[in-house]
């Protein structure tokens, strides 16, 4: 018995030592870097494209990159990011050539948005949106907006704060979250007359699934339907006070999801944050008034088609 205990103690000690060595290695190595594929890409902007790009950026970029102090997309601390990911700051994405993206090429921006790899080869961690399935036309529109004369993207020499990723983030970037492949063929916009296809496209590419599935750590950006607890809610982003704000179950479950919601009720909540006269949406979820009723209706129609998940999510307290 004593010999067995001694052997067990030695094995346990070895496991602990290996774990410590592994943690030290991962922490010192940091976020991985990857070879950068050189691609050719040039954006030709149009007024309608810039307008479309601004609409998309308002839903995808502004909430994270807008700094209330500058009134521009100069980056700020992402207070809604779970603390388990570390101390996270978004980047300056104004047209400043030193601190922003003023000297990035269209191809470098496209490559980052598609794959998650920056032009220096560093991988953008899981809290940065990646758009592997967005239509070429829409990504081009976003880049065109970032190049436009809109005041919020005008050059501003505000220096970024360095992000302090946690050991967990570094570990996930080494074993779970990898760069996504560049598409090998053109991705086209869905037929707007096909409500289900349009709703799926919007709910994936506006990152709705990312917050409303069960955990940021198990999201699948290449195939969102494979995310754990797909649209079943219960994820744990934070509000500006650092309080957990559980995300809602958006599956068509009649008891715990939106199965009993009318189309009008859903659209009112999504676009205006209103739920029967009381506040429905609270930070980090914000209303999307820039969506057309047809787009909001399409998201509703798509959500009604996905498998229901019976997952009761208690509503988080008011901010």
Lowest pLDDT segment from 73-77, 127-131, 304-308:
127-131
The two tokens of residue 98 are 């030193």
Report if residue 146 sits inside a domain: yes
Q: Which of 126, 132, 244 is nearest to 177 (CA)?
A: 126
Same domain, 59 and 154: yes
Domain count along the chain: 2
Q: Is residue 296 part of a domain?
A: yes
In a domain? residue 65 = yes
User: Is residue 163 assigned to a domain?
Assistant: yes
Residues 96 and 216 in one domain: no
Q: Residues 213, 278: one domain? A: yes
Domain range for 240:
195-303
- The backbone torsions φ and ψ at residue 64, rounded to the nearest 5 degrees and listed phi first, read -95, -40
C-alpha span between 162 and 99 (Å, rounded): 12
Tell me the HSE value of 134 on the side-chain side, using a 13 A CA sphere: 28
Last residue of a domain, one of 146, 175, 204: 175
The answer to the question of residue 240 being in a domain is yes
Rounded distance between C-alpha atoms, residue 65 and residue 227, angstroms:
25
Predicted confidence (pLDDT) at residue 5 exceeds the cutoff of 80: no
Residue 76 lies in a domain: yes
Residue 20 has pLDDT above 80, yes or no: no
pLDDT(78) > 80:
yes
**CATH code of the domain covering residue 294:** 1.10.760
Q: Single out the residue in 115, 146, 175 at which a domain terminates.
A: 175
Residue 29 has pLDDT above 90, yes or no: no
**Are 199 and 171 found together in one domain?**
no
pLDDT, average across residues 120-128: 84
Residue 129 has pLDDT above 80, yes or no: yes
Q: What is the mean pLDDT of residues 8-17?
A: 58
Confidence of residue 71 (pLDDT cuts 50, 70, 90): very high
- For 166, residues 6+ apart whose C-beta sits below 8 A from its C-beta are 84, 85, 86
161, 233: one domain: no
Do 77 and 158 lie in a common domain?
yes
- List strand residue ranges (DSSP E) for the chain, in order: 86-87, 164-165, 274-275, 278-279
Does the structure show a pLDDT above 90 at 180? yes
Name the pLDDT band for 48 (thresholds 50, 70, 90): very high
Residue 72 is encoded by which pair of tokens?
Answer: 């521009």
On whether both 242 and 279 belong to a single domain, the answer is yes
Calculate mean pLDDT across residues 104-118: 95
155 and 204 share one domain: no
CB atoms within 10 A of CB 300: 24
Residue 258 has which token pair?
């939106």
Tell me if 315 is assigned to some domain: no
Question: For residues 11 and 7, what is the distance between their CA atoms, to the nearest angstrom?
Answer: 6
What are the tens digits of pLDDT across the range 226-259? 999 999 999 998 887 888 889 999 999 999 999 9
Q: Residue 25: pLDDT band by 50, 70, 90 thresholds?
A: low
| Element of type H or E holding 20 | helix 2-29
Concatenated DSSP letters of 32-86:
-B-PPPP--------HHHHHHHHHHHHHHTHHHH-BTTTTBS---B-TTS-GGGE
Check whether residue 57 and residue 153 sit in a common domain.
yes
pLDDT at 17 over 60: no
Does residue 110 carry a pLDDT above 90? yes
Residue 143 shares a structural domain with residue 229? no
Domain-ending residue, one of 115, 145, 175: 175
pTM over 0.95: no
Q: What are phi and psi of 114, to 5 degrees?
A: -80, -50
Q: Are residues 148 and 84 in the same domain?
A: yes
Q: And the tokens for 296?
A: 């909001």
pLDDT of residue 119: 94
Cα separation, 29 vs 156, in Å, equals 32
Domain for residue 186, yes or no?
no
d(CA 210, CA 154): 29
Report yes or no: 89 and 77 within 8 Å, Cβ to Cβ: yes
């Amino acid at each position: 018995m004593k010999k067995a205990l001694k052997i067990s103690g030695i094995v346990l000690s070895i496991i602990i030592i290996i774990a410590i060595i592994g943690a030290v290695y991962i922490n010192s190595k940091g976020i991985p870097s990857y070879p950068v594929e050189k691609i050719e890409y040039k954006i030709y902007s149009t007024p309608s494209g810039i307008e479309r790009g601004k609409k998309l950026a308002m839903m995808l970029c502004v909430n994270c990159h807008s700094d209330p102090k500058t009134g521009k997309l100069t980056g700020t601390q992402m207070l809604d990011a779970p603390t388990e990911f570390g101390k996270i700051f978004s980047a300056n994405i104004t047209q400043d050539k030193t601190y922003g993206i003023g000297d990035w090429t269209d191809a470098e921006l496209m490559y980052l948005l598609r794959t998650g790899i920056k032009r220096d080869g560093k991988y953008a961690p899981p809290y940065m949106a990646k758009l592997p399935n967005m239509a070429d036309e829409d990504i081009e529109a976003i880049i065109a907006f970032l190049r436009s004369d809109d005041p919020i993207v005008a050059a501003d020499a505000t220096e970024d704060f360095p992000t302090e990723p946690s050991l967990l983030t570094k570990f996930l970037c080494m074993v779970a979250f990898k760069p996504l492949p560049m598409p090998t063929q053109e991705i086209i916009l869905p037929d707007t007359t096909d409500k289900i296809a349009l709703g799926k496209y919007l709910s994936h590419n506006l990152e709705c699934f990312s917050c409303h599935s069960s955990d940021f750590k198990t999201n699948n950006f290449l195939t969102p339907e494979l995310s754990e607890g797909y649209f079943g809610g219960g994820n744990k982003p934070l509000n500006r006070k650092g309080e957990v704000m559980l995300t809602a179950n958006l599956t068509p479950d009649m008891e715990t999801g939106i199965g009993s919601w009318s189309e009008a009720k859903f659209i009112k909540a999504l676009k205006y944050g209103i739920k029967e006269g009381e506040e429905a949406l609270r930070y980090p979820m914000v209303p999307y008034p820039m969506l057309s009723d047809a787009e909001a209706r399409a998201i509703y129609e798509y959500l009604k088609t996905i498998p229901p998940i019976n997952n009761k999510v208690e509503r988080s307290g008011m901010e």
